[in-house]
Amino acid sequence: MNPMNLLQLQQRFQIFQQEHPKIIAFFKAIGNDSMKEGTIIAVKVTTPDGKEIESNIKITANDITTFQQLMEIAKNR
């Protein structure tokens, strides 16, 4: 991967964190106790015109590794 792309991604992630500070706190809160293989994360999106889209994922061992790496990036920024 291009190092410049990684730098841009890190910058975008910092902006995202600044604009949505509760999301990192949310993942920290569920991180230790709830992030276990088999846990289901459900997401619901409501557009400005009221359309609702829902989905969910069942957490795998690979997902846990990814979330841990993302949390390390957030912690070390």
pTM over 0.85: no
Judged by DSSP in three states, 42 sits in: strand
Residue 68 is given by DSSP the state H
Q: Is 4 exposed, middle or buried (0-12, 13-18, 19+ CB in 10 A)?
A: exposed
Query: What is the residue extent of each domain of the chain?
Result: 3-75
**Separation CA 62–CA 71 (nearest Å):** 14
pLDDT band at 77 (very low <50, low <70, confident <90, very high): low
Q: List pLDDT tens digits, range 25-75.
A: 887 787 667 778 999 999 999 999 999 999 999 999 998 888 878 777 766
**Would you state the pLDDT for residue 54?**
98
Residues 6+ apart with CB under 8 A from 27: 67, 70, 71
**Would you state the pLDDT for residue 1?**
66
Structure-model confidence comparison of residues 15 and 23, the more confident one? 15
